[in-house]
Chain A
Amino acid sequence: MKFMENTKINFMKFKSFGFGLSSVLAFGSIILLLMGVNLGIDFKGGTAIGVSFSEDVSIQEVRGSLKSVSLNDSVVDLSGEEIKYFGSQSDVMIKIKSLDNEPENFGQIVINHLYDSMSAKAPENKNDFILSLGSVSPKVGSELSGKAFWSVVSALVLILFYISVRFEFRFALGAILALVHDVVITLGIFSLTGFEITLSTVAAFLTIVGYSLNDTIVILDRIRENMKSSGTVMFESTINKSINQSLSRTLITSLTTLFVIIVLLVYGGEVIRPFSFTMLVGVIVGTYSSIYIASALLATIYQSSNK
């Protein structure tokens, strides 16, 4: 089947537009991120509780029940914490910031409190009531964020090094900037949705890094190949030719990946939803950035260094 064969689109003509769009998106994302990312308990510590009632409950009802929770030797008011539905109106997720002098089994105490105070709507077996319970001490939280941060940074540095060796430093620069661009914009859009960043979402971001990288390298590889015959004169046309040549591959691959992700988003269930959403945004941004960031930056870098 013929699909996008022998296209001759002048991608670089819209280069400035692409840069403009990316700058706006990236800038907006950074502002959104500075305003505050919804970090999950993995990174800042705290307790997250998921419970499943046997019938629909209202958030107010749960909030009311959390007004006074007695811990071992004190009573706390948890009604100000983040409470939201999880999938259906009978499942509720509660996120509690870490307290000073929190008792060891704090999460379980809160679960028991809810179970007892809303017993009319709770299932008979307490084990069916508990969907999930997570608690991370602030110390571990800061360690986990440190680890996640450094693993991503060191991966980027090594990739930069590898591409510099295999291609050129200028290629590597374009590829890495494209990666950072993808992650920042996806993070920005992600923070708009109110999903929280957990270790699983970090995995989704890594997937995007992998995907976007793959996409970028395929185009860069074409450019490298075409440069052998045409040199760096008329560099923009070489880039245009390379993008056009790999266009069908870029689109087919992106479309197949999007199929899987959309299915995952629709049928994958509540736990995996933030993950699938991140992927959806990331794949679209990643495909775009391979053309308009990695390649276009390369064109700009070459132009300025050839002058």
Chain B
Amino acid sequence: MDSSIRNRLLTILFVFGLGIYALLPSLRYSLMDEEKKSNLSDDQIDYFESRSIKQGLDLKGGIYIVLEVDLPQLIDNLAKNKDNNFNGFLIDLKNEYNNSSSDFFTVFENLADEKELKLPRYFINYGKTKDQIITQLSLQSEDSIKRVIEIIQNRVDQFGVAEPTIQKQGNNRVIVELAGIEDSERARDLLQSTALLELMIVKNVESTNAIIRQIDSIMTASNGNVEQNDQINELFDSSSSSELGFSSLLISVGGNLAIASKDLTALKDILSKEDVKQILEATNSTILTSDSSIKLINEIGEEEEFYTLFHLFNNAELTGGVIEDAQMRLSQAGVTAGQAVVEVEMNSEGSREWARITGANINNRIAIVLDKKVHMAPVIRSQIFGGGTVIEGLDSIEEAEDIAIVLRAGALPVPVTIAEERTVGASLGADSISKGTLSMAIGLLLVVCFIVFFYKMSGLIASFSVMWTLILLLGVLALLEATLTLPGIAGLILTVGMSVDANVIIFERIKEELRNGKSVRSAIDSGYERAIRTIVDANLTTGIAAAVLYQYGSGPIKGFATVLFWGIIVSMFTAIIVTRFVFDFVTTRKNIERLSI
């Protein structure tokens, strides 16, 4: 064997070996049955998960969510001395930002200039000039997105999902991918819940009644004499009852005020009225509803859902920041026995505060508020030391578990909205994968038959090279820890096509050279030489396209580009180097006079 052939053989064997080595964990993992998988240790699972080709959510099923940090809300939270001017600005800011493709702070700055809003008036803590303030605010937003990612990471880890992906996108989004998850509803709630726990003192009955009367008088004033007509309308349309005044919506249930679920919209409308907001602000209070509803029989004998209404001191006595641990428990005693509750433990600072608050508010009620919903509002009977408290009023064990998770993981500093979501049910994913694999296999088989039929022995060599193209490409994908999605499979198909094409170009050239009367040896040499130029040009052009798509494309397009880019490199290797080697190897050993092509 001459040295050129031997060196080439070693190179090829080395690359093949590398490909097989890279692909081995994926193969072993996918061939393992469920029972064996469940016997693996965590380390082993980590090893297999990280070394295997991952299937994208479109193939495997699962949920993909892009969460967007609510930057207008963040600005709202950071602002001081808010007035009508500022509130109007904020509404415009939200609309403007939603309809624009520019960066949030660019929109913010332009709009502030346009409206001649004096930023230092509202953000004096963040600087004295406009530029200083905007720099500081954008730092704050970066900081909060970091915090959001951390917290979501915590929540996902505690929820127990295999191989979650959490990454930042742009400067205000977080992409969360949870593969193989079944209950998408629960996962979504878990990710999105702000988990802002607040302990707030409930205002006493007198001041609550005063507020309700004040709101009533505002509403009568604004409706004026239209009221008479509305009374008639009310017989037909219950939703207009809000026009009749606030108190008409409320009923008294066991010492609490309650509102029917159908009237929640009306309540929202009332609370968003500018005058009402001012009254609440002046008395430093807020009105919230309960998280769970009660069913009551109304006057016409129908069952109706009611939510309890609470009038609370607006500033929270304590927030979730002081929580050290939260656990789901089944309540042992009392009326709640057997129900799921969450036991919360506070750190030492929190415990001290808690003792002070409970000491100062004996016989008052304290509301436990999670994400602006009141979970319970027990009366404080005595001072509580040690920083323990229990959250009751949860619907199910799952809900209790999830609340414990979000409390442990911490509250999101800003609310997040879902900008994009894709959930693929496990059955659809499995369907795609089995059908996709089946058709890939049939397709490949047909291709092989076709080339062998056309090119005889040389066709076999080509099939061999196409097969290795696939193996090596999958190997590269495993090494890159890439995720295979549907568009990725498209990339695989294109790669197979281009790999077959490279071989066809070479064979046709060789045939041409043979027709021109060249010997087998020199036909192979000049055939390859001429074909290589064509193949390189064709592949490099496509390679450029792939690289650009990778650079600019998003999600699925990126996946496609990755596969295509590496496919081109691998198929050039197999078509030019591997098949050439096989031809050379065969023709130097035997003096072949007729090529089976």
B563: min CB distance to chain A, Å: 10
- Cross-chain contact of B504 among A207, A253, A261 (Cβ < 8 A): A253
Which residues of A are found within 8 Å of B501, using beta-carbon distances?
Answer: 214, 218, 249, 253
- Cross-chain contact of B432 among A163, A253, A272 (Cβ < 8 A): A272
- Cross-chain contact of A1 among B453, B530, B545 (Cβ < 8 A): B453
B396: min CB distance to chain A, Å: 14
Give Cα A269–Cα B539 distance, bound, in whole angstroms: 30
A197: min CB distance to chain B, Å: 13
Give Cα A268–Cα B544 distance, bound, in whole angstroms: 29
One digit per residue, 1 when the CB lies within 8 angstroms of any chain A CB and 0 when it does not, for chain B 547-569 equals 01101111111001100100000
- Measured CB to CB, the nearest residue on chain B to A255 is B450
Q: Contacts A108-B185, A139-B419, A158-B545 hold; do A207 and B491 have CB atoms under 8 A apart?
A: yes
Is A132 touching B421 in the complex (CB atoms < 8 A)? Answer: no
One digit per residue, 1 when the CB lies within 8 angstroms of any chain B CB and 0 when it does not, for chain A 248-280 equals 110011011101110110111111100100010
- Cross-chain contact of A3 among B419, B423, B438, B454 (Cβ < 8 A): B454
Is A263 touching B439 in the complex (CB atoms < 8 A)? Answer: yes
Number of B interface residues in the complex (CB < 8 A): 88
Q: Is A234 engaged at the interface, CB distance under 8 Å to the other chain?
A: no
Is A272 touching B486 in the complex (CB atoms < 8 A)? Answer: yes
Q: Is A155 engaged at the interface, CB distance under 8 Å to the other chain?
A: yes
Instruction: Scan residues 118-139 of chain A and give those whose CB is less than 8 A from a CB of chain B.
Output: 127-128, 130-139
Q: Is B58 engaged at the interface, CB distance under 8 Å to the other chain?
A: yes
Q: Is B538 engaged at the interface, CB distance under 8 Å to the other chain?
A: yes
Is A259 touching B446 in the complex (CB atoms < 8 A)? Answer: yes
Q: Is B320 engaged at the interface, CB distance under 8 Å to the other chain?
A: no
B237: min CB distance to chain A, Å: 13
Give Cα A304–Cα B554 distance, bound, in whole angstroms: 42
- Measured CB to CB, the nearest residue on chain B to A150 is B552
Give Cα A104–Cα B541 distance, bound, in whole angstroms: 44
Give Cα A270–Cα B486 distance, bound, in whole angstroms: 12
Is B420 touching A142 in the complex (CB atoms < 8 A)? Answer: no
Which residues of A are found within 8 Å of B553, using beta-carbon distances?
Answer: 147-148, 151
Which residues of A are found within 8 Å of B427, using beta-carbon distances?
Answer: 52, 128, 131
- Cross-chain contact of A155 among B436, B491, B497, B548 (Cβ < 8 A): B548
Which residues of A are found within 8 Å of B493, using beta-carbon distances?
Answer: 207, 260-261, 264, 279
Which residues of B are found within 8 Å of A163, using beta-carbon distances?
Answer: 541
Q: Contacts A104-B418, A130-B425, A271-B58 hold; do A147 and B439 have CB atoms under 8 A apart?
A: no
Number of A interface residues in the complex (CB < 8 A): 81
Instruction: Scan residues 203-253 of chain A and give those whose CB is less than 8 A from a CB of chain B.
Output: 203-204, 206-207, 209-211, 213-214, 217-218, 221-222, 225, 245-246, 248-249, 252-253
Is A202 touching B557 in the complex (CB atoms < 8 A)? Answer: yes
- Cross-chain contact of B428 among A108, A131, A143 (Cβ < 8 A): A131
Instruction: Scan residues 491-530 of chain B and give those whose CB is less than 8 A from a CB of chain A.
Output: 491, 493-494, 496-498, 500-501, 504-505, 508, 511-512, 515, 530
Q: Is A154 engaged at the interface, CB distance under 8 Å to the other chain?
A: yes
A73: min CB distance to chain B, Å: 4
B458: min CB distance to chain A, Å: 11
Q: Is B471 engaged at the interface, CB distance under 8 Å to the other chain?
A: no
Is B512 touching A245 in the complex (CB atoms < 8 A)? Answer: yes
Which residues of A are found within 8 Å of B184, using beta-carbon distances?
Answer: 108, 130, 133
Q: Is B435 engaged at the interface, CB distance under 8 Å to the other chain?
A: yes
- Cross-chain contact of A268 among B436, B533, B539, B546 (Cβ < 8 A): B436
Which residues of A are found within 8 Å of B420, using beta-carbon distances?
Answer: 135-137, 140
Give Cα A45–Cα B293 distance, bound, in whole angstroms: 33
One digit per residue, 1 when the CB lies within 8 angstroms of any chain B CB and 0 when it does not, for chain A 108-124 equals 10000000000000000
Is A210 touching B534 in the complex (CB atoms < 8 A)? Answer: no
Which residues of B are found within 8 Å of A222, using beta-carbon distances?
Answer: 534
Is B508 touching A248 in the complex (CB atoms < 8 A)? Answer: yes
Q: Is A23 engaged at the interface, CB distance under 8 Å to the other chain?
A: no
Q: Is B431 engaged at the interface, CB distance under 8 Å to the other chain?
A: yes
B199: min CB distance to chain A, Å: 26
A86: min CB distance to chain B, Å: 9
Is B556 touching A260 in the complex (CB atoms < 8 A)? Answer: no
- Measured CB to CB, the nearest residue on chain B to A269 is B435
Is A206 touching B486 in the complex (CB atoms < 8 A)? Answer: no
Q: Is B80 engaged at the interface, CB distance under 8 Å to the other chain?
A: no
Which residues of A are found within 8 Å of B549, using beta-carbon distances?
Answer: 151, 155, 206
Instruction: Scan residues 168-194 of chain B and give those whose CB is less than 8 A from a CB of chain A.
Output: 182-185, 188-189, 192
Is A260 touching B496 in the complex (CB atoms < 8 A)? Answer: yes
Q: Is A166 engaged at the interface, CB distance under 8 Å to the other chain?
A: yes
Q: Is A69 engaged at the interface, CB distance under 8 Å to the other chain?
A: no
Is B185 touching A256 in the complex (CB atoms < 8 A)? Answer: no
Is B425 touching A104 in the complex (CB atoms < 8 A)? Answer: no
B354: min CB distance to chain A, Å: 32
Q: Is A305 engaged at the interface, CB distance under 8 Å to the other chain?
A: no
Which residues of B are found within 8 Å of A144, using beta-carbon distances?
Answer: 554
Q: Contacts A253-B497, A260-B443 hold; do A159 and B544 have CB atoms under 8 A apart?
A: yes
- Measured CB to CB, the nearest residue on chain B to A214 is B538
- Measured CB to CB, the nearest residue on chain B to A107 is B421
> Which 4 pairs across A and B sit closest by C-beta, in order of nearness?
A203-B487, A269-B435, A260-B443, A151-B552
- Interchain Cβ contacts under 8 Å between A and B, 26 examples: A105-B189, A127-B183, A133-B184, A133-B422, A137-B420, A139-B99, A147-B554, A148-B554, A151-B552, A154-B552, A155-B544, A158-B545, A163-B541, A203-B487, A203-B490, A207-B493, A210-B546, A214-B501, A221-B537, A256-B447, A256-B504, A259-B450, A263-B446, A264-B439, A271-B58, A272-B432
8 more contacts with CB within 8 A, not counting A133-B422, A256-B451, A272-B489, are A136-B419, A162-B541, A202-B557, A206-B549, A213-B542, A222-B534, A249-B504, A259-B450
